[in-house]
Amino acid sequence: MNLGIFCFYENYAGDYRKTLADQLRLVQHAEHLGFQEAWVAEHHFNDFGVSPSILLLLTHLAAHTSRIRLGTAALLLPFHDPIKVAEDIATLDQLSAGRLLLGVGRGGPFPLQNQHFRTPAAISRDKLLEALELVTRLLYEDQVSHAGTHFQCDGVTIHPKPLQRPIPVHLATQDDAGVAYAARHGLKLLGAQPWTLPQLQAVLARYRAVDGSCPASLTLLRTFFVAKTREAARDQALPALQRFSERLRRIIDTGGASWASGVKPDVEALLDNALIGDVAECRDKLQRFHAELDLAGLVLKPAALDLEANLQSLTLFNDEVRPYV
């Protein structure tokens, strides 16, 4: 099982420069500890999760690391021009010496994103899958022509081509059509933070039902904080979870989104999914996740407000939890 760190770029201090610098330190520390992956979220139009330019952020991380693989979790393809995305992805893969991991999703439930990028939620899934098909062809083929519902091109060849052939692709989806697409094309899956264990098991079952010969490879994103005692872990994590919950609720409510997506920004729901506790508790929960989901990867989002506390928690996880899974 690969181990990664999840960069959400939470702007707790109201200081963009500090937020960017702190995330870089976390990634560098994770690389020092031997973590295999670092994943960056894409969010728009809020001053809390300040990671709108996801490929620029990954390029910055690539320039300041040397071994850790760098992933998009997730690149919101319906909001981007597939030709430009393919060019940027290929360039980043070359710059990072073939370290890119491509996670893609439809975005949501954040109505301002759908509004400002002129992509209603009702069409975002179809637009995502069409964009992914076109990006994939542009990365590895020449003279690509495409006449689809949402995108068109005629005889396009991009340069450079990516170093990896192919770049690993992960799809963040729960809906039947998206899971079926992933299974038919042999794509890996990304399990988002709000998705519960039963929801994830259902996704894997639907994937295997489409093509039982293709193993479902799941990388799971989870908020975490481990400390010497359960009380110490919760004391560090709860203030951040409360602020995260408040901000997420405000962002979703701003556009009048429904809760049909299953996103529940209350603290108890976040705690249920998280790896927060003492060493024994985190070991037990992680072993359960791994056994019931057959995880290919686990990506951790440190939960504390304080950078040094997060660095110490990563070290403790690496030394006392990781060896037992």
C-alpha distances in angstroms, 226 versus 192, 320, 322?
Answer: 20, 10, 11
User: Taking the CB of residue 63, how many other CB atoms lie within 10 A of it?
Assistant: 11
Q: List all residues 6 or more positions away from 96 whose beta carbon is below 8 Å from its beta carbon.
A: 58, 59, 62, 70
**How is the chain split into domains, by residue range?**
2-324
In CATH, what is the architecture of 2-324? Alpha-Beta Barrel (3.20)
* Residue 117 vs residue 266, higher pLDDT: 117
Q: Which two tokens stand for residue 64?
A: 């300041």
What pLDDT, in 10s, does the model give residues 223-246? 999 999 999 999 999 999 998 888
Q: What pLDDT was estimated at residue 246?
A: 86
- pTM for this entry: 0.94
Q: What is the pLDDT of residue 259?
A: 39
Give strand ranges (E) for the chain.
Answer: 2-7, 37-40, 69-72, 75-76, 100-105, 144-147, 152-156, 169-171, 188-191, 218-227, 275-278, 297-302
Tokens of 246: 């408040």
CA 74 – CA 187 distance, rounded (Å): 14
What's the full length of the chain, in residues? Answer: 325
Please write the tens of the pLDDT for every residue from 144-189. 999 999 999 999 999 999 999 999 999 999 999 999 999 999 999 9
Tens digits of residue pLDDT in 35-82 = 999 999 999 998 999 999 999 999 999 999 999 999 999 999 999 999
Q: What percent of the chain has pLDDT over 70?
A: 96
Per-residue HEC secondary structure of 115-155 comes to HHCCCCHHHHHHHHHHHHHHHHHHHHCCCEEEECCCCEEEE
